Structure 1
Amino acid sequence: MSSPIIPVLLAGGAGTRLWPVSRDALPKQFLPLVGERSTYQETLLRVKDPMFGPPIVVTGPHFHFFAQRQAEEIGVDATVVIEPMRRDSGPAIAAAAAIARARDPEAIVLALAADHIILDLEAFRATCDHGRDAAENGSIVTFGIKPAEPRTSYGYILPGDSVGGNGVKRVERFVEKPDAATAARYVMDGYLWNSGNFLFRADVLLDELARFVPDMHAAVEGAVAHATTDLGFLRLDPDSFARAPQKSIDYAVMEKTDRAAVVAGDFRWSDVGSWDALFDIAPRDDEGNVLQGPVVAMDSRNCVVHSDGRLTAAVGLEDMVVVSTSDAVMVVPRARSQDVRDLVAKLKTRNSPEASNHRRMHRPWGYYESIDMGERFQVKRIVVIPGEMLSLQRHRHRSEHWIVVRGTAEVTINETIRAVHENESVYIPIGSVHRLANQGRIPLELIEVQTGSYLGEDDIVRLEDIYQRH
């Protein structure tokens, strides 16, 4: 009996084209774009089946706690691997393949993007099963999607001759994103959309990488060989990983190898690469609108209107995207959804904090959210997950006042430890050594009022931290 396929989830991307919901500080794979669970969680559940083994998740140094917590929420035991810096999909997939090979020298790996949406679960698993024999026999199998229509936002694959059975074919040609006329011709000629998901034997992929990009192969092998275990995470060696060229797996291997094969996936798929993509995968109302959150639309057709909390109303719109968050509103024609990436780049040149950061900032212990700010004061809402605690710290320029609104806080101030209950408060004088912890079974929620001459997040002197932050 064959060993289970080892799923690898790539969860380190940024997803700026879904701004202002997706930002560098919390990208789209960890957000519930369609339904109640994040696309990352949905991808984990897609491979929660006896045909798959425990997954390997590759993510960045700011998201590993988030990746672990979201996996635990849905009952998945994942190995979370921290890549020290973004080097594109080539080094990330290669590192995961090396880890899978250490589990099983003949491991079959399924590399999946954590931010894609697949709506037909059984058809997806059947496609994995169809591609398995070819992968076991040494092919590197990519999943091609039967086009629903010509698209200029996807790359395409031209299938060639059959490779064994089950509809797997040799890749005749990879092509980049075409113009509209070329995309229409590709659909007529039997091309497939390139989904960027792969099935392969770990040793085969690594051998091909050593053949075509030996410096990447050496860097990744070194990063895995010298990886360290950190609070249950596997942290790749940063010095070795930094030597890996920044290159996608397509450019590094797939467009060069003679082992490339493709299996056609007859399931609904989207890489959610823009707001316009939601138009194809999310439910629509009678006027063709995708409405998410507290939204009201009148005399509007074929629009995407998304709100993260505040009432958002649209009147007389057609083929538009409107996105409203607590600190930003974006309005763009659906046809120009791809331009949102350029908009974010412009915001970054203006040093707009909203370009990268949400008002709600996630931390290993929970999150905080800025409610109000003025000269010499700031008000935050802080939520601490059960069993977690903030660092032991002090501030040089501010004092703090904590008011507990839910749960019980364990508060350390210098040498004193005390419990602070709902509707009670505590004052933290400037310069005091202090810590906040939640030893209870429900989330701890409190309001923090800061006062002082400087209120920046860099006015934190950490003396002790269970998450080993600096």
Structure 2
Amino acid sequence: MVRRLCRQLEEAGMLSSALFVIRRDQTALLRRRIGGSGLVIPEPGRRGTYMAAALAAAYLHSVLSADPDEIVCVMPADPLVDETFFRTIARLPDALEQTGAKLALIGTVPSHPSDQFGYIVPEGAVPSGGHAAVRRFAEKPAASDAEKLIRDGALWNCGVFAFRLKYLLASMAERELPADYGSLQELYGRREADCFDREIAEREPEAIVLRHDGLWRDLGSWSSLSDHLGTSVVGPGAIIGDARGSHIVNELHIPIHVIGVSGIIAAAGPDGILVADKSQSSRVRDLPPHAGRPMYGEYAWGVRRVIHADAPDSGGRTIALASLTPGAVRQMPEEPGGDTLITVLSGEGTLLRLDGSLKPLRRGETVLLARGERYALQTDSGMELIEVHNGGPAHMLEQDDANEPG
């Protein structure tokens, strides 16, 4: 989804001014998807769309010294849209200027009375390619209420908001949020999660909505994503019998079979397995945070997948496969309570020790990385490793990318 978004932003001439706000532990994954495009702003934790927008505003204000009258557009990264959507985005500044509104949104004509989307109720009909004042909002109404909203001319809320930078900075000041990027980063994790719709849009009396008539699909849930997969089974497995509307998305090598169960999503990956009724799949947000070690990670240097992990109270041995991309440099900090044995499966590279000594690494070589020492692995051509960490948790502490803000 992010790659498609970047391609569309570039085609619309907007990529050079894009800022991507994402949780800190996913920044390396995002950069692998977008390459050198855009600027990545790491969130210390997930605190909702309002706090994410505030973090970007603080960066624009205190780091980039942006003009307070600069118009900022906030949008999600997961909608399926066509090029006309970005032409609608390009109309937002003129609409704000012409109307004097403080906030501009984008809405699209509903294709059916859904209870999964928010609705914007305008003041009168919104002509194609036009805009109107916002009368009120309705967040995920019942299907029967959605039918009435559509008859009244309501639009689906596309989750896009445009405003002048000073507008959000003033809102932050009211909530005692610092406009300094570093200060906001420090207290970010202590703030409650806030939604931009509730905190800003639903409270703003001077808002307008622009009508978008092209493609728009929200892919932010398993239910909506499965409608666009093109197949009912992705990965090993099968759906058997009367299992209408069920989907499998499997990243494991072990097959999943669904027999006679309709309307479910069965999704499996290294960090866990989800089986959910599609109508209830949004409740995945209510799950408690995963307390175990991450079983799969994408980093600036490559990919690491844990294939075995002992319980911490039984020695804490971890076995993982790691793939370093060409030109990668991977830091190997001290791992408390143990050492790491690495074996080169393919490719070649160099092991650099803290004392400056070098050891060439080739296919089939095994090296013990002793506890308490620091190392770095460097490869020009790429390299695949199997690594065994003995004694204590394997905390792969990654260096921040050089171009990460702050």
Q: TM-score, normalised by structure 1?
A: 0.72
Aligned equivalents of 1:193 and 1:272: distance in 2?
14
User: How many Å apart are 1:242 and its aligned residue?
Assistant: 6.6
**Of residues 151, 171, 174 in structure 2, which corresponds to 1:215?**
174
Identity of aligned residues (%): 23
Check the 8 A contact 2:301/2:324 in 1, yes or no: yes
Alignment of 1:123-134 (within 5 A): 123-134=84-95
Q: Which residue of the partner structure matches residue 292 of structure 1?
A: 234
Letter in 1 for 2:9: V
Letter in 2 for 1:456: P
User: How many Å apart are 1:173 and its aligned residue?
Assistant: 0.5
Range with greater deviation from structure 2 (255-264 or 104-113): 104-113
Check the 8 A contact 2:349/2:382 in 1, yes or no: no
Check the 8 A contact 1:85/1:242 in 2, yes or no: yes
**Of residues 383, 392, 398 in structure 2, which corresponds to 1:455?**
392
1:40 paired to 2:21: no
1:368 paired to 2:304: yes
Range with greater deviation from structure 2 (170-179 or 318-327): 318-327
Change (3 A) 1:130 1:378: closer
1:248 paired to 2:195: yes
Change (3 A) 1:277 1:83: same
Q: Which residue of the partner structure matches residue 231 of structure 1?
A: none
Aligned equivalents of 1:394 and 1:243: distance in 2?
29
User: How many Å apart are 1:379 and its aligned residue?
Assistant: 1.6
SS of 1:370's partner is strand
1:378 paired to 2:339: no
Letter in 2 for 1:80: V
1:423 paired to 2:364: yes
Check the 8 A contact 2:31/2:300 in 1, yes or no: no
Alignment of 1:155-194 (within 5 A): 155-161=118-124, 166-194=129-157
Change (3 A) 1:167 1:190: same
1:443 paired to 2:382: yes
Q: Which residue of the partner structure matches residue 285 of structure 2?
A: 341
Aligned equivalents of 1:241 and 1:329: distance in 2?
30
Alignment of 1:82-93 (within 5 A): 82-93=42-53
SS of 2:329's partner is coil
Kindly provide the CA deviation profile for residues 79-103 of structure 1, in whole angstroms up to 9, marking residues without a partner as x.
2223444443224324434555634
Q: Which residue of the partner structure matches residue 59 of structure 1?
A: 22
Aligned equivalents of 1:97 and 1:395: distance in 2?
37
Check the 8 A contact 1:270/1:281 in 2, yes or no: no
Q: Which residue of the partner structure matches residue 315 of structure 1?
A: 259
Check the 8 A contact 1:91/1:246 in 2, yes or no: yes
Letter in 2 for 1:81: I
Root-mean-square deviation (CA, aligned residues, Å) is 3.3
SS of 1:283's partner is coil
SS of 2:320's partner is strand
Aligned equivalents of 2:206 and 2:304: distance in 1?
49
Kindly provide the CA deviation profile for residues 196-223 of structure 1, in whole angstroms up to 9, marking residues without a partner as x.
11233334x33xx62x56333x6242x2
Check the 8 A contact 1:108/1:136 in 2, yes or no: no
Aligned equivalents of 1:150 and 1:240: distance in 2?
41
Kindly provide the CA deviation profile for residues 38-72 of structure 1, in whole angstroms up to 9, marking residues without a partner as x.
x2222222211354242112223323333333221
Change (3 A) 1:322 1:61: closer
Aligned equivalents of 1:56 and 1:213: distance in 2?
19
Letter in 1 for 2:156: W
SS of 1:332's partner is strand
SS of 2:34's partner is helix
SS of 2:123's partner is strand
Q: Unaligned regions of 5+ residues in structure 1, if any?
A: 1-38, 228-235, 285-289
Q: Unaligned regions of 5+ residues in structure 2, if any?
A: none
Kindly provide the CA deviation profile for residues 101-159 of structure 1, in whole angstroms up to 9, marking residues without a partner as x.
63455433221112x2223x222123224434212334321111221212222221101
Letter in 2 for 1:168: H
1:359 paired to 2:295: yes
SS of 2:330's partner is coil
SS of 1:113's partner is coil
Aligned equivalents of 2:40 and 2:210: distance in 1?
28
Check the 8 A contact 2:55/2:185 in 1, yes or no: no
Alignment of 1:61-140 (within 5 A): 61-72=24-35, 76-97=36-57, 99-100=59-60, 102-104=65-67, 106-114=69-77, 116-119=78-81, 121-137=82-98, 138-139=100-101, 140=103
Kindly provide the CA deviation profile for residues 423-464 of structure 1, in whole angstroms up to 9, marking residues without a partner as x.
2222234x3524131231x3321011233xx33135x8x8x9
Kindly provide the CA deviation profile for residues 263-300 of structure 1, in whole angstroms up to 9, marking residues without a partner as x.
1222333333432112433325xxxxx32223433333
1:275 paired to 2:259: no
Check the 8 A contact 2:219/2:225 in 1, yes or no: yes
Length, aligned pairs only: 390
Aligned equivalents of 2:93 and 2:125: distance in 1?
14
Q: Which residue of the partner structure matches residue 410 of structure 1?
A: 350
Change (3 A) 1:154 1:238: same
Q: TM-score, normalised by structure 2?
A: 0.83
Aligned equivalents of 1:466 and 1:94: distance in 2?
22
SS of 1:42's partner is helix
